[in-house]
Each structure stands twice: as C-alpha cells, then as structure tokens.
A and B are shown apart, each in its own frame.
Chain A
Amino acid sequence: MTGTPPPAPAESGRPRERLDGPAKVAGRAPYAYEQPVEDPLFLFPVRSTIARGRVRWVDTEEAEAVPGVVAVLTHLNAPRLASRDDLELWVLQDDEVRHHGQFVGAVIAGTPEVARHAASLVKVEYQREWHDVVLRADHPERYRPDHVNPSFDTDTSHGDVDGALADAAATVDQTYRTPVQHHVPMEPHTTVVRWPGAADLGAVAMYDSNQGVSPIRKVLAPLLDLDPEQLWIHSPHVGGAFGSKASPKAHHVLTALAARLVPGRPVKCALTRQQMFGNAGHRTPTIQRVRLGADRRGRLTAIAHDVVEHTARFKEFAEQTAVATRTMYAAEHRRTTHRLVPLDVPAPVIMRAPGEAPGMFALESAMDELAVALGMDPVELRIRNEPDADPESGLPFSTRHLARCLREGATRFGWADRPPAGQGRRDGDWLVGVGMAASTYPLFPQQGSRARIRALPDGRRQVEIAASDLGTGTWTALTQIAADALAVPAEAVDLVIGDSALPATVGAGGSSGLSIWGTTVVAAARAFRDRHGDDPPAGAEVVGELPENTAVGRYALHAFGAQFAEVRVDAVTGEIRVPRMVGVFDVGRVINPRTARSQLMGGMTMGLSMALHEESVVDPRFGHVVNGDYAGYHIPTNADVGDIDVSWLDEPDPLYNPMGSKGIGEIGIVGTAAAVANAVWHATGVRVRDVPITPDRLLGRHR
C-alpha cells in the first residue's frame, strides 16, 4: 500500500445531505417489495400453533379450492434443500416443529387477499410434545457453550474474586434482568424471488431487505443447490434492520422454495408485523449476577459478571453479554461466565449491540449502586477505575478517551448542579432525578471485502461494492470516503451498492460496515491512482482488496462514551418521562456529522426504549409472543422522546482504519438504559434491576 499520500480530506467531516434523501422523503426509493416485477404471485405462510412436536397431517384441499390459489406448499411437496446444517433454514423438509410460529406451509396466489385467506383454510394436526420456553437461572439443562458470539472465550477468571469481595470495603451483589426484545424494523422482512423460467438461462433473482447481499448469498446459494453466480440478490434500500436482517431467515427459504414451483413468476413475501415476532429473530433474555468490590477510595478490587441466557434448542446463539465487562474497569480480581439454557423458542440473533446493550445495563447499574455504597460521585468512581491497558488482554488501547467523555458529558449536562445522591428533587407531583452510565463497543474484525473502481467516459469514477444502507447513511458517507481517497469531488463519484453482482464484501453489523467498506474503497482507490494516475482513461479499472488490519492483536480497539439522563416520575401515577439526555462519544473521526448524529441519537432513543418500553411477553403455555405487534410491543413515540444532545470528541484513531473512524452504529444504545435506571433511582429511591421500568414498579414504593 505505497504511493501518493492521500490529500487532506475535503469530504470526510462534512455534514453532507443524504444522497438518497430526496427519493426517501418522496417515497420513491424502492424497498424490496417495491421493486418493479412482472406478473407477481403472493405468498402467505402457514405457521405452527405449537412450540414442539410433529405435524401429523395437513389438509390443503379447501385452500387449494379457493379461486386464485396457485399452489399450497407443505413439507410433503416442497422442493428439497441441499444442506441440513442450519435447522432454522431447514424449511418444510420434515414434519418436526421446533418453535411456535415455525413455517409449516405456505399458499401462493394471484392476490395477497386470496393467499392470506387460503392460508387460513389449511388444516394442520399436530402431535404435541412437551415444551419449555421459560428461562430460569437454575434450569437443569443449562450448559456452558464453547464460545460466545462471535468467538470470545465463554468464561474468564483472574485472581481470587471471592477473597477480594470478602476483604472489600464496599460491595455490590445484585441480579439484573433484561427481557426478550425484538428489533421491529419499520420495514418488515420482505423478499421477492423469481426462479428462471424454462426458456431463460438467467440467475435466480431475489429482491430482498437485508444487511448484506454477500453474506446472505453465501448461505442461501449452496442451500438452494446453486452456484453463487446463479443467485442474484438486490437490496439497495433497507427499511431498518438492527441485526434482524444480518443472516438468512426461514422466509427467504420458504419464498425460494415456492418460487421454484412456479418458474418465471416472481413470488412476493412480506412478513406481517405479527409474524415478525416469531420469524425474524429476537434478543435473548438475560439473567445477570454482578458482584463488585472496592476499597474505601473507590478502587475496584473485584468484578464478577455471571450471565444466564437462552438459546434455541435447534440452533445455538450465545450472546456475549459479559464481554464488555472484561475491558471496562481495572480490578485485580475478575471473572465472567456465560451459560445457556436451550429452549423451544425461535432462534435468537444479534440485536443492536449484542452483548454490550444488556451487559452494560447490568454493569453500569451495579457501578451506580457501588457509588451509592461508597458515597461517591458515580462519574468520579468510573474515572478512578480507568485502566492503563486492557485489563483482559494486557494490550494497550489504541485510543481510550472515556474519562474525557465523562467529563465533557458532565459539563454539557450540568451534572455538578444535581441534588445530592438519593435525594432527587420535587417539582409539584414530579420526582426529578439524574443518572449516568458509561458506554463501550469494540472493533469487530472482519475479513474478505473487495471493491472495484472504474473511470467513466465523462471523467467520473464509479465505485462498486456490495455494501448496504440500512438507514446508516452508507450511500452518502461511503461516497465521501471514496471522493477523498480518489481526490475528486463527491459529485464525481458514482457509488453502487446493494447488489450481489458487485464485488463481495461484509454485511453491515458490529458497527464495522463503513469501517470495512471504507478501508476497502481506500485500498482500491490507492491502487487505482497508482496504476492509472489522476487523469485515467475511460474504462480504466482496478479491483482492490481489504488489507489486513495489523493493529488487531497488538492493540485493544474500542469506542467509548458517556450517557446522562434526566427523568421525571409522576408521584401519583408512576409515569416516567425522560425530558433530556446527553451523550458524548469517543468514536474516532466522524465521516458525516449529519448522518452520524442521527445514528447516535437513534441508538440513544433505542436505549431509552429498552429502559422504559420494550418487552416481549412469551406465553409459557404455547410459546408465542403475546404482545406481538406495535400496539403491544412498545417502542417510543414522538411524545416519549425529549431533547437529545449528541456530541463526540474529535479524536481520529488511525489504528482502526485509514479514515480514523471507530464505528457508530451501536454505541449509542450501550449504557443508555442504565443511565435512565440510575436516574429513576435518584428521583424515587427505587432501584429497578430489570427493564423495562414500567410505572407499576414505582407506585407505592417511591420516597
């Protein structure tokens, strides 16, 4: 990677308006369902009404008799799949039911109304087996996974935690809980598949809503017994995802199987909002015991974080809930553990800040409790426990500006003016309190990414990479990175993303999308300029590859942040309001301040949502989510959100990537729920250790 040094960035750091914005505000940007296809059929799934057992028989006669029905799929007539490796994707291949809501059939018809009606006429009789969907810390089937997502050690242990706790001047030993949560992106999971007709030699076409066409194709193509180039996936605009669209889901397979039965006709499948609660992934509930010990001056001596969470019996996913705890604070004696309970639930998946979001709720709540026990300012307690190097690996941090985030956040928030701990403030019927918490999110190393750069006849540059924009601003920010790397104005860059015919890359996830795609594009741009100079002939072309990040393994690479919240609790009704929040983040260089601010604010809003609203209630008798729609699964409305003040330190981290950016997709949600819960304690004197904090938790208990 030698050659001309990049010029001072002209685009990075500029609050450029979203390039896809005009189309989005008019509703003209086509999402998956909206891609123009000819003569489509519509699919509606039939879902199991039991959590575990077998399909004894299916009667499709009545459904098939409905005018307009083209086919009814069941496990008896569905085309065969090529691999049984992933049972979540083993759709209609056997009679086994592994979770409530599993697809046991589907109807395809000429209109959506007919498909839906006919699906309701498919009769399925089950042989029901005993099931269990309830997470308990002492569950007899609880086990230790080999590693936690994606490849962290399951357990860690240093020193003698029990001994240190026994000797500590102040201790905390509490259990915190987080519920099942669902991503509920506003655009439901949608896919449209056209199997080529007998006369055409083209590829299978899939218009899809996903976080990365390359990783989705990598799994689906072999499963459908296709070569990669026989499956073309197009996903230029995605209506939110938050982890739920990172990996292929059963509806992809179901729709592809249906399409195979009707070659030449596109089959459209959009999950209903209700189906999203059984077929689109969820975040595992967690039970977390946190123990902290400190000396009189507030130096932590012991940190222990023991997690129990669930996984599907048929597919393991081990959320890395205690991993952030390994890096946050210095303490000589430390331990973290993860245990899984296999249940008859749909497969849990990553959801915005998997691990950090639930884990830091527990750790940062416990830190607040420790500050109270010590009679210390919680901001000061955290600063006092800043480690010199990563406590877990011993590696130096590439950059770690947590203390500055805490101090700047405290100033912006007016932390110094708060009433003393445990005394809140009263304003009429309102109990007013403030709270804070720290945030962190690690670098998520990824490999395998390529980009192509081509000189167009009019002197512009086309930049091609199979990246995705989930609302994250990729269309704009990656264009800006390319412009800087190619030393051309952003207006001279044509970015093409969201298509599997482009050079393959990683999906959006782990706050690493823009980091990886940007690094790849910078590498391609350098190679392009080395080979063709800055006045390239039309058609000049280079494919560049993601270089290895040599800082990984030599440095601890993490983003940090500090979150502050004010809450008001109605002493009569228990209603909880959050009039203002402040977040200050150490996220390296920000490529586009306008879209970055939105993304961080969106993360904090989702953290507020985790604190006060989100909980999927699973019925133990049937194994389904009882409150599975937007009326029952609450997310904040406009009236639930107050002022959010987002800022960041201007501290590029060149060890992350050539842009110096650390990634911003997830850190905004980390710590927010703890900041709110800590503020609720300050306002009311009630310590709530499981979210969401609903009014009933406070009524009659507040001071």
Chain B
Amino acid sequence: MEAEIRLRVDGTTHTLRVDTRTSLLDALRDRLGNTSPKKGCDHGQCGSCTVLLDGRRITSCLALAVSHDGAEVTTADGLAPGDTLHPVQRAFLDQDAFQCGYCTPGQVCSVVGMLAEATDGRPSHVTGELTGPVQLTDEEIRERLSGNLCRCGAYVNIVAAVRQTLAEEAP
C-alpha cells in the first residue's frame, strides 16, 4: 500500500508517495537522497539515524514516514546551510569528537536536541532536582547522550564538544 505525504526537510518541501512500511529514515535516504542520517541498526538501538522532528530529537528508523505527513525534519546536513557549520558541528571538529563519522550526524542532532531539552528544564535519569533549571554536568551530558552509540569510542571527546558548545553559549 502506498500513501502520499508531504515532508519539509532541511527547509525544502517534498511531496512523495511512499510504501506505508517505509520508515522516515528510509524515506529520507532512499527516496529523498538525504543520506545525512545514518542507518546503524534500524531498531532504535544506536541513534545513528537521529534527526530533529518538529524540533525534537527522534530516531528516524522507528518512525513511519506516513505518520509524519506535514512534519518538519532537520538533519545534520540542514544544520550546516552552505558551508557554515552549526556551533555543535564546529565543536565536534575542534574536539575531534568522532573517528569514522558514521554515528556523527546523529550525535550532532542529538546534542542539538538535548541542549534544547535542558534549556526547557526537562530532567534526565540522573537529575537530582526535578524542577528548576538543569545544570549540564558531565554526568548529565553523558546520560543524555547515551542513546547515541559510538563504536569508535569517541565519547570522551563528544562530552568535550558539548562542554565547548556550552562555554561558547554562556553569556
């Protein structure tokens, strides 16, 4: 079965017919040719496919394309219009927060989404005080990014990249 949907991806609107079994990830990669989000597991276990869906981070392999008709999707590609990298991407480069780079677009989107969640005051598993502003300690950063696996083992530098981003944002 097929259905027609509309997706706004990195600022461009697409209308496409998809097999109703098509994941959002496959729609992006196989149908729209946006291969910035990666497929590491297709089961919501690794985070390589993380994109921002209407501003929130999701694993796009677990989303069916048809259930997101009309959605606004931002990939790591869209975070860097032209050649201007997003501050989080710049920090990943500065801190060498990756090796093979396959988990990286997902990590970057996850960090962007995570920073917004923290700003909104959303607690995590390790947050002590559930109300009030969130302090992004190293423990908080590590916890909040644990949905994004990195087999190359770049975690130490990923945490450093988040710290750099936070320091740059600080007033």
Interface residues of A (CB under 8 A from B): 17-18, 20-22, 24-31, 33-34, 36, 111-114, 117, 184-188, 237-240, 242, 270, 272-273, 470-473, 594-595, 597-599, 601-606, 609, 629-631, 635-641, 643-644
Contact = CB atoms under 8 A, between A and B. Distances in A.
A539 B71 CA distance: 52
Nearest to A114: B19
Contact of A22 (B85, B108, B152): B85
B127 interface: no
Interface stretch (B41-49, B115-123, B129-137, B163-171): B41-49
**Top 5 A-B residue pairs of the complex, sorted by shortest distance between their CB atoms:** A27-B36, A471-B100, A605-B153, A239-B102, A24-B101
Nearest to A273: B41
Contacts of A603: 153
A25 B43 contact: no
Given A25-B92, A186-B38, A604-B153, A637 B101 contact: no
B38 A27 contact: yes
A242 B151 CA distance: 10
B125 to A, nearest CB: 9
A238 B100 contact: yes
A606 B149 CA distance: 12
B99 interface: yes
B149 A599 contact: no
A22 B85 CA distance: 8
Contacts of B92: 21, 25
A22 B93 contact: yes
Interface residues of B, number: 59
B99 to A, nearest CB: 3
A240 B26 CA distance: 21
Please report whether the interface of chain B is mostly helix, strand, loop or mixed according to DSSP.
loop
Interface of B: 19, 21-22, 26, 29-30, 33, 35-43, 45-46, 48, 75-77, 79-80, 83, 85, 89, 92-94, 96, 98-105, 108, 139, 141-143, 145-159
B149 A188 contact: no
Given A34-B35, A187-B38, A638-B141, 9 more contacts: A22-B83, A22-B89, A27-B37, A27-B104, A111-B19, A471-B152, A630-B46, A637-B147, A638-B148
Contacts of A26: 36, 76-77, 79-80, 85, 89, 105
A187 B153 contact: no
A629 B146 contact: no
B152 A186 contact: yes
B43 A186 contact: no
A273 B45 contact: yes
A19 to B, nearest CB: 11
A667 to B, nearest CB: 14
A272 B45 CA distance: 13
A29 B38 CA distance: 11
Contacts of A599: 99
Contacts of B76: 25-27
A33 B35 contact: yes
Contacts of A604: 153
A25 B36 CA distance: 9
